[in-house]
Amino acid sequence: MAGLVHIGLAGARGRMGRAVSEVLDRRSDVVTAARFDRTDHPDLSVCDVVIDFTEAAASVELARACAETGGPALVIGATGFTPEQDAEIERAAERIAVVKSGNFSLGVNMLIGLVAQAARRLPAAEWDIEIVEAHHRMKRDAPSGTALMLGEAAADGRGHDLDDVRGRLREGMGDERPVGEIGFSAVRAGGIVGEHQVIFAAQDEILTLAHSARDRALFARGAVMAALWVKGRSRGLYGMQNVLGFQQS
């Protein structure tokens, strides 16, 4: 049928892969052209876009394969990338369109904007920032990709790179908390879908901005939205802020 978007799904057997499959199967404007896992090698030429929910190393390999043939476009939802792996994705985006995001939720992307604004207006000398996230017991990377996105928004709001102000794991007798540090805490337990809190704490008041995910379907719907958006886009690296119109492409 004319006008249908042909979408491939990498990591189809995983939690998010199954959720994306259900969303795709309910839509009449897409065709699921391929479902595969990270060890498979499908014919990518049948896809307009591939949605990838595997893991960092597999995502890099897939991005290379897509870039070598000039397509398809990619939507990457995997997290836990090293700086070197991020650089590989950026190189692939010089040849194809890539949407890469640690979170495909509309609410989380609204939260990112609010965090940046709060950090811009609450001075570091008076307000500490702590990010607390919780996920299911099977999640391997910590902090989560979403927590890092929130940390980047907070750091950017204060005119810093996150690497320069990110706090490390606290254990034992450490030094006094540095002014301007952005701290992270991670919980891994049970079947928690995703909880994120950004705490701005002064001596006499606390502001908490938070998001709670109740169903993986919300992330799946966002990923499919990104796939429809990125089809036909010019090469480059995009995020959900672009897809939702919060940032210009």
Residue 159, domain CATH:
3.30.360.10
Give per-residue pLDDT as tens, 39-92.
666 889 999 999 999 999 999 999 999 999 999 999 999 988 999 999 999 999
Question: Is 110 found in the same domain as 191?
Answer: yes
Question: Is 15 found in the same domain as 82?
Answer: yes
Query: Which domain does 169 fall in, by range?
Result: 106-213
Q: Which residues are catalytic?
A: 135, 139
Give per-residue pLDDT as tens, 197-239.
999 999 999 999 999 999 889 999 999 999 999 999 999 999 9
Question: Is 11 found in the same domain as 92?
Answer: yes
57-96: string of b/e by CB count within 10 Å (b at 16+)?
ebbbebbebbbeeebbbbbbbbbbbeeebeebbeebbebb
* 184 SS3 class: strand
Count up the domains in the chain and report the number.
2
Question: Is 132 found in the same domain as 76?
Answer: no
Establish if 249 belongs to a structural domain: no
Establish if 11 belongs to a structural domain: yes
- What was the pLDDT predicted at 75? 98
Question: Is 221 found in the same domain as 100?
Answer: yes
